Amino acid sequence: MEIDFAPVVKREGINWITVTAFAIFHLGAIAALFFFTWPAFFAAVFLYWASLSLGIGMGYHRLHTHRAYQVPLWLEHFLAVCGTLALEGGPIFWVATHRVHHQFSDKNGDPHTPRDGKWWSHIVWMMVGDVTHCDAVACAKYAPDVAADPFYVWLSKWHWVPLTVVGIALFAIGGLPWLLWGVFFRVTMGLHATWMVNSLTHIWGARRFDTRDDSRNNWFVAALSFGEGWHNNHHAHPTSARHGLAWYEVDITWLEIRLLQKLGIAKAVKVAKIGPVAQRKVA
């Protein structure tokens, strides 16, 4: 049964907390251009990788949401902390919202489908209603496994703390250039890279699989997001830890998961099997 709106996203009223935060970070990103130093730039590159590939790709998305593989709990928690550095909210809300997206992808109830508008899917959906904190009942419904962990409950409530600590450390080490590049510029670029998965990969790209949504494989978004842009592959095989299914579909996050598997740290790794006979099987 379809619903009129995603239960974790309310679509009425301006969310001034989100609007203000986005405005400050975009202004800070512009200011960073006037305070460029190579050390600050490399610090931003490292944190971009840590927050998007380790935090969002390996953590929030492929591990916490889809349970595509297993790692020790301490590492699972560490990846979630890395995820908070992307300024995309706590793990409970992120997981619940993404599971809703898969359940109602490009239908009524999808929190960020481009069918409601290209800019809606990219950024506007977070600037209305209440996406700052997740309703406990709705989140428990869509993310009961994550909501049952006291650490994730704490981290979801205080998701801004790790980024604040990193910001203070960057300022102490390298002053204003490190703060502007390592936090404001890096976070802003990371947000847009993630938002492109919601918007561009449902608008522009190739479709290997005939899924029931508008998902597409987009090399540009994949390059910015360490492999998350192979979105049609992902929607066809949601529980696969590997998104880039062809040799030319570079998936950095998958290579990192594969490395953990080789080291015996990652277990029960699910990988999509594609071919003329087993196009939709996951093993």
10-residue mean pLDDT series, the chain (283 residues): 49 85 97 98 98 98 98 98 96 93 91 93 87 64 93 94 98 98 98 97 96 97 98 97 96 98 98 62 43
pLDDT at 15: 86
What is the rounded distance in angstroms from the CA atom of residue 138 to the CA atom of residue 156? 14
What is the rounded distance in angstroms from the CA atom of residue 86 to the CA atom of residue 31? 19
pLDDT at 136: 62
What is the rounded distance in angstroms from the CA atom of residue 188 to the CA atom of residue 162? 17
Half-sphere exposure for 30 (CA within 13 Å, toward CB): 5
pLDDT at 253: 98
pLDDT at 12: 72
What is the rounded distance in angstroms from the CA atom of residue 218 to the CA atom of residue 229? 5
Going by their DSSP bridges, the two strands 281-282 and 272-273 should be labelled as antiparallel
What the block records as the tokens of 112 is 């960020």
pLDDT at 14: 87
pTM of the model: 0.91
pLDDT at 280: 45
What is the rounded distance in angstroms from the CA atom of residue 225 to the CA atom of residue 89? 17
